[in-house]
């Protein structure tokens, strides 16, 4: 069994590999099932491989939590369960169903949060009698996908927002070599705490928040000093690497080059 490093990102929230744990909820985000078929339709004839990996990874996490006597009984998928915007592909029908069957066997409760890729997800999940929510709260934490800022933001009572959507990773550069590593981000947004989750898929690492354009409206419109203060927690091979604040990484890496 894999040994997994559990790291507290803030009080009540722990990083467990690419997932978060709050109470007995496990939270994962941005699975993008069906991505291979979408690549196929663009002419990249890559076979389906990531569903199996997602399942294996999930099993490893649960097995570890169980043995660590901190099991989880509920799961939250924080948006973008599937990939296609405007349709349901064959692969998506099959894999979303298979995943839900699997999750039902292992969890008491499944909560799906609607992402921008999930326009058609409710058609599949309704068969499994699972509802798709805009957001979901556990005490003072609210999970939402993060592709749009809720209108009633300032009225929300929850002090912490947890979003996906961004697929954050950081590119570490040394000489000619660049390696991207998936990461969690933690910072402040409109006087609330904000946590950004990495994607739980294994096709790509994501987009490099240090060098590429940001996607989520939560991050795009931040003041520079606010963004610079975000904390970065890299995750690789079940280990967590706390890199400090964005401004620190940038200034440190400038000194290397």
Among 10, 46, 101, 127, binds another protein (CB under 8 A): 46
The verdict on 241 binding another protein (CB under 8 A) reads: yes
CA 119, 120, 126, 130 dihedral sign is negative
Beta carbon of residue 68, minimum distance to another protein (angstroms, whole number): 22
The order of strands in the sheet holding 109-113 is: 6-10, 13-16, 19-22, 25-28, 74-77, 109-113, 132-133
The answer for residues whose C-beta is within 8 angstroms of residue 107's C-beta and 6 or more apart is 26, 72, 73, 74, 75
Q: What's the rounded Cα separation, in Å, for the pair 76 and 88?
A: 21
Beta carbon of residue 254, minimum distance to another protein (angstroms, whole number): 10
The verdict on 47 binding another protein (CB under 8 A) reads: yes
Q: Binding-site residue total for another protein (CB under 8 A)?
A: 34
Q: What's the rounded Cα separation, in Å, for the pair 153 and 38?
A: 34
The verdict on 154 binding another protein (CB under 8 A) reads: no
Of 21-29, 77-85, 193-201, 233-241, the window that binds another protein (rule: CB under 8 A) is 233-241
The verdict on 255 binding another protein (CB under 8 A) reads: yes
Per CB under 8 A, residues contacting another protein are 39-49, 172, 174-177, 179, 181, 203-204, 234, 236-237, 241-244, 248-249, 251-253, 255-256
């Amino acid at each position: 069994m894999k040994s997994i490093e559990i790291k507290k990102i803030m009080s009540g929230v722990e990083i467990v590999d690419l997932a978060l744990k709050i109470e007995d909820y496990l939270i994962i985000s941005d699975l993008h099932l069906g991505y291979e078929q979408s690549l196929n339709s663009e002419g990249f004839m890559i076979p389906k491989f990531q569903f199996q990996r997602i399942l294996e990874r999930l099993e490893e996490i649960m097995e570890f939590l169980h043995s660590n006597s901190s099991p989880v009984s509920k799961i939250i998928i924080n948006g973008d369960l599937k990939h296609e915007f405007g349709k349901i592909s064959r692969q998506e029908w099959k894999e979303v169903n298979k995943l839900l069957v699997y999750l039902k066997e292992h969890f008491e409760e499944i909560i799906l949060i609607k992402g921008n890729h999930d326009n058609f997800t409710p058609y599949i999940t309704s068969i499994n009698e699972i509802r798709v929510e805009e957001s979901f709260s556990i005490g003072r934490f609210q999970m939402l996908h993060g592709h749009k800022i809720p209108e009633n933001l300032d009225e929300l009572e929850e002090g912490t927002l947890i979003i996906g959507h961004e697929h954050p990773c950081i590119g570490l550069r040394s000489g000619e070599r660049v390696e991207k590593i998936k990461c969690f981000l933690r910072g402040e947004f409109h006087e609330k705490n904000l946590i950004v989750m990495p994607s739980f898929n294994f096709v790509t690492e994501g987009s490099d928040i240090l060098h590429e354009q940001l996607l989520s409206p939560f991050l795009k419109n931040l003041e520079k000093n606010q963004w610079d203060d975000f904390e970065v927690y890299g995750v690789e091979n079940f280990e967590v690497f706390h890199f400090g604040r964005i401004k620190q990484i940038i200034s440190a890496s400038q000194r290397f080059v």
